[in-house]
A and B are shown apart, each in its own frame.
Chain A
Amino acid sequence: DQQVKQNSPSLSVQEGRISILNCDYTNSMFDYFLWYKKYPAEGPTFLISISSIKDKNEDGRFTVFLNKSAKHLSLHIVPSQPGDSAVYFCAASTYYNFNKFYFGSGTKLNVKP
Protein backbone atom coordinates (compact mmCIF):
# COMPACT_ATOMS: atom_id res chain seq x y z
CA ASP A 1 0.00 0.00 0.00
CA GLN A 2 1.83 3.05 -1.27
CA GLN A 3 0.91 6.05 0.85
CA VAL A 4 2.95 8.55 -1.14
CA LYS A 5 2.61 8.60 -4.91
CA GLN A 6 4.42 10.36 -7.69
CA ASN A 7 2.50 9.55 -10.83
CA SER A 8 4.89 11.10 -13.32
CA PRO A 9 8.02 8.96 -13.75
CA SER A 10 9.71 11.63 -15.86
CA LEU A 11 9.52 15.29 -16.82
CA SER A 12 11.42 17.24 -19.43
CA VAL A 13 11.62 21.05 -19.45
CA GLN A 14 13.63 23.70 -21.21
CA GLU A 15 16.30 25.62 -19.31
CA GLY A 16 14.88 28.81 -17.84
CA ARG A 17 11.32 27.51 -17.71
CA ILE A 18 9.38 26.33 -14.68
CA SER A 19 9.51 22.70 -13.55
CA ILE A 20 6.51 21.42 -11.58
CA LEU A 21 6.79 18.07 -9.85
CA ASN A 22 3.71 16.59 -8.20
CA CYS A 23 3.11 14.30 -5.27
CA ASP A 24 -0.08 12.84 -3.77
CA TYR A 25 -0.56 11.14 -0.43
CA THR A 26 -3.30 9.13 1.20
CA ASN A 27 -2.49 9.19 4.93
CA SER A 28 -4.19 12.11 6.69
CA MET A 29 -1.78 11.65 9.62
CA PHE A 30 1.13 12.96 7.58
CA ASP A 31 2.13 16.35 8.92
CA TYR A 32 5.52 16.93 7.39
CA PHE A 33 6.69 16.64 3.82
CA LEU A 34 10.09 16.76 2.23
CA TRP A 35 11.58 16.73 -1.22
CA TYR A 36 14.85 14.95 -1.87
CA LYS A 37 17.05 15.21 -4.92
CA LYS A 38 19.10 12.28 -6.15
CA TYR A 39 21.92 12.21 -8.67
CA PRO A 40 23.09 8.91 -10.19
CA ALA A 41 25.33 6.82 -7.93
CA GLU A 42 24.64 9.12 -4.96
CA GLY A 43 22.25 8.95 -2.06
CA PRO A 44 19.23 11.29 -1.90
CA THR A 45 19.92 14.73 -0.46
CA PHE A 46 17.46 16.99 1.30
CA LEU A 47 16.10 19.82 -0.83
CA ILE A 48 13.15 21.52 0.87
CA SER A 49 10.41 20.72 3.37
CA ILE A 50 7.02 21.94 4.50
CA SER A 51 4.99 21.50 7.64
CA SER A 52 1.25 20.88 7.44
CA ILE A 53 0.60 24.17 9.22
CA LYS A 54 1.82 25.96 6.12
CA ASP A 55 0.71 25.90 2.52
CA LYS A 56 3.88 27.25 0.97
CA ASN A 57 7.58 27.25 1.64
CA GLU A 58 10.16 28.95 -0.52
CA ASP A 59 13.92 28.58 -0.72
CA GLY A 60 15.58 30.37 -3.56
CA ARG A 61 14.46 28.85 -6.85
CA PHE A 62 12.55 26.10 -5.08
CA THR A 63 9.01 26.43 -3.74
CA VAL A 64 6.86 23.68 -2.27
CA PHE A 65 3.09 24.06 -2.16
CA LEU A 66 0.83 21.97 0.05
CA ASN A 67 -2.90 21.46 -0.51
CA LYS A 68 -4.09 19.49 2.52
CA SER A 69 -7.68 19.15 1.39
CA ALA A 70 -6.52 17.53 -1.85
CA LYS A 71 -3.67 15.66 -0.14
CA HIS A 72 -1.38 17.03 -2.79
CA LEU A 73 1.93 18.81 -2.84
CA SER A 74 4.06 20.15 -5.60
CA LEU A 75 7.61 21.36 -6.08
CA HIS A 76 8.21 24.33 -8.36
CA ILE A 77 11.67 25.09 -9.70
CA VAL A 78 12.02 28.51 -11.30
CA PRO A 79 14.04 29.02 -13.38
CA SER A 80 15.10 25.47 -14.16
CA GLN A 81 18.79 24.84 -14.78
CA PRO A 82 20.57 21.87 -16.39
CA GLY A 83 22.13 21.08 -13.01
CA ASP A 84 18.64 20.43 -11.67
CA SER A 85 18.46 17.29 -13.79
CA ALA A 86 18.04 14.51 -11.23
CA VAL A 87 15.45 12.22 -9.68
CA TYR A 88 13.20 13.98 -7.17
CA PHE A 89 11.54 12.06 -4.35
CA CYS A 90 8.66 13.25 -2.26
CA ALA A 91 8.56 11.94 1.32
CA ALA A 92 6.18 12.29 4.25
CA SER A 93 6.15 11.58 7.97
CA THR A 94 3.60 11.65 10.77
CA TYR A 95 3.54 13.71 13.95
CA TYR A 96 3.77 10.57 16.10
CA ASN A 97 6.76 9.07 14.28
CA PHE A 98 8.48 12.01 12.71
CA ASN A 99 11.64 10.06 11.99
CA LYS A 100 9.90 7.51 9.78
CA PHE A 101 9.55 8.65 6.20
CA TYR A 102 7.43 7.23 3.40
CA PHE A 103 8.81 7.86 -0.05
CA GLY A 104 7.23 8.23 -3.44
CA SER A 105 8.65 6.43 -6.45
CA GLY A 106 10.39 9.52 -7.80
CA THR A 107 10.22 11.76 -10.87
CA LYS A 108 13.20 12.03 -13.17
CA LEU A 109 13.63 15.64 -14.25
CA ASN A 110 15.59 16.47 -17.39
CA VAL A 111 16.35 20.13 -17.97
CA LYS A 112 17.43 20.71 -21.54
CA PRO A 113 19.94 23.49 -22.31
Chain B
Amino acid sequence: EAGVAQSPRYKIIEKRQSVAFWCNPISGHATLYWYQQILGQGPKLLIQFQNNGVVDDSQLPKDRFSAERLKGVDSTLKIQPAKLEDSAVYLCASSLEEEVDRGHRRGQFFGPGTRLTVL
Protein backbone atom coordinates (compact mmCIF):
# COMPACT_ATOMS: atom_id res chain seq x y z
CA GLU B 1 0.00 0.00 0.00
CA ALA B 2 1.40 3.38 -1.00
CA GLY B 3 1.87 5.84 1.83
CA VAL B 4 1.05 9.51 2.13
CA ALA B 5 2.96 11.51 -0.46
CA GLN B 6 4.09 15.10 0.02
CA SER B 7 5.98 17.57 -2.11
CA PRO B 8 8.25 19.38 -2.11
CA ARG B 9 10.40 17.86 0.62
CA TYR B 10 12.29 21.08 1.26
CA LYS B 11 11.57 24.71 0.51
CA ILE B 12 13.49 27.88 1.27
CA ILE B 13 11.81 31.23 0.73
CA GLU B 14 12.18 34.79 1.89
CA LYS B 15 9.67 36.41 4.20
CA ARG B 16 6.62 37.90 2.53
CA GLN B 17 6.87 35.38 -0.32
CA SER B 18 4.20 32.76 -0.88
CA VAL B 19 4.56 28.99 -0.85
CA ALA B 20 2.37 25.97 -1.49
CA PHE B 21 2.59 22.37 -0.34
CA TRP B 22 0.92 19.35 -1.87
CA CYS B 23 -0.33 16.15 -0.28
CA ASN B 24 -1.72 12.94 -1.71
CA PRO B 25 -3.27 10.75 1.02
CA ILE B 26 -3.54 6.99 1.16
CA SER B 27 -6.17 5.75 -1.25
CA GLY B 28 -9.56 5.42 0.43
CA HIS B 29 -8.72 7.59 3.42
CA ALA B 30 -11.51 10.10 3.84
CA THR B 31 -9.86 12.23 6.51
CA LEU B 32 -6.84 14.39 5.77
CA TYR B 33 -4.85 16.53 8.18
CA TRP B 34 -2.24 19.24 7.93
CA TYR B 35 0.09 19.69 10.88
CA GLN B 36 2.77 22.24 11.65
CA GLN B 37 5.75 20.97 13.60
CA ILE B 38 8.11 23.62 14.88
CA LEU B 39 11.55 22.44 15.95
CA GLY B 40 11.43 20.97 19.47
CA GLN B 41 7.65 20.77 19.54
CA GLY B 42 5.06 18.17 18.71
CA PRO B 43 2.86 18.35 15.62
CA LYS B 44 0.10 20.97 15.90
CA LEU B 45 -3.08 20.44 13.90
CA LEU B 46 -3.73 23.23 11.41
CA ILE B 47 -6.72 21.85 9.53
CA GLN B 48 -8.70 18.62 9.24
CA PHE B 49 -10.76 17.63 6.20
CA GLN B 50 -13.45 14.99 5.98
CA ASN B 51 -13.65 14.22 2.26
CA ASN B 52 -13.55 17.76 0.84
CA GLY B 53 -15.24 19.48 3.76
CA VAL B 54 -13.44 21.22 6.63
CA VAL B 55 -13.98 19.60 10.03
CA ASP B 56 -11.61 21.71 12.12
CA ASP B 57 -9.55 24.75 11.17
CA SER B 58 -9.54 26.43 14.56
CA GLN B 59 -5.74 26.63 14.69
CA LEU B 60 -5.20 27.76 11.11
CA PRO B 61 -3.96 31.39 10.85
CA LYS B 62 -6.52 32.27 8.26
CA ASP B 63 -5.06 35.68 7.48
CA ARG B 64 -2.12 34.00 5.78
CA PHE B 65 -2.79 30.26 5.57
CA SER B 66 -5.30 28.56 3.31
CA ALA B 67 -5.96 24.95 2.40
CA GLU B 68 -8.20 23.09 0.05
CA ARG B 69 -8.98 19.53 -0.78
CA LEU B 70 -10.46 19.23 -4.22
CA LYS B 71 -12.56 16.18 -5.03
CA GLY B 72 -11.86 14.77 -1.58
CA VAL B 73 -8.43 13.42 -2.51
CA ASP B 74 -5.33 15.61 -2.91
CA SER B 75 -4.83 18.69 -0.81
CA THR B 76 -2.77 21.87 -0.97
CA LEU B 77 -1.71 24.14 1.88
CA LYS B 78 -0.68 27.69 1.03
CA ILE B 79 1.04 30.40 3.01
CA GLN B 80 0.84 33.96 1.74
CA PRO B 81 2.72 35.97 2.84
CA ALA B 82 5.19 33.89 4.83
CA LYS B 83 6.72 35.06 8.11
CA LEU B 84 9.91 33.99 9.82
CA GLU B 85 7.92 32.10 12.46
CA ASP B 86 6.39 29.89 9.77
CA SER B 87 9.68 28.00 9.52
CA ALA B 88 8.69 24.45 10.40
CA VAL B 89 7.99 21.00 9.03
CA TYR B 90 4.53 20.72 7.53
CA LEU B 91 3.14 17.24 7.88
CA CYS B 92 0.21 15.79 6.02
CA ALA B 93 -1.60 12.76 7.43
CA SER B 94 -4.64 10.71 6.51
CA SER B 95 -6.91 8.25 8.24
CA LEU B 96 -9.98 6.16 7.60
CA GLU B 97 -13.27 7.88 8.26
CA GLU B 98 -14.24 5.43 10.91
CA GLU B 99 -12.38 3.01 13.04
CA VAL B 100 -14.41 -0.14 13.02
CA ASP B 101 -12.61 -1.48 16.02
CA ARG B 102 -11.88 1.45 18.30
CA GLY B 103 -9.94 -0.83 20.55
CA HIS B 104 -7.28 -0.92 17.89
CA ARG B 105 -7.16 2.59 16.59
CA ARG B 106 -3.96 3.26 14.74
CA GLY B 107 -4.41 6.95 14.44
CA GLN B 108 -3.13 8.63 11.35
CA PHE B 109 -0.62 7.78 8.67
CA PHE B 110 1.88 10.56 8.10
CA GLY B 111 3.77 11.67 5.06
CA PRO B 112 7.48 12.57 5.23
CA GLY B 113 6.73 16.26 5.59
CA THR B 114 7.93 19.44 3.91
CA ARG B 115 10.64 21.37 5.70
CA LEU B 116 10.05 25.10 5.18
CA THR B 117 12.72 27.66 5.94
CA VAL B 118 11.72 31.32 5.82
CA LEU B 119 14.66 33.73 5.64
Contacts and interface: CB of A to CB of B under 8 A. Distances in A.
B40 A91 contact: no
A51 B103 contact: yes
Given A44-B43, A103-B44, A98 B110 contact: no
A20 to B, nearest CB: 19
A32 B31 CA distance: 18
Nearest to B106: A46
B14 interface: no
Given A43-B91, A99-B31, A34 B42 contact: no
A89 B107 CA distance: 13
B44 A98 contact: no
Nearest to A44: B110
A99 B97 CA distance: 8
Given A4-B42, A9-B40, A44-B91, 11 more contacts: A32-B105, A42-B113, A43-B4, A43-B91, A49-B107, A89-B43, A93-B107, A101-B45, A101-B107, A105-B40, A105-B41
Interface of A: 4, 6, 9, 32, 34, 36, 41-46, 49, 51, 89, 91, 93, 98-101, 103-106
Interface of B: 4, 31, 40-45, 48, 55-56, 91, 93, 95, 99, 102-113
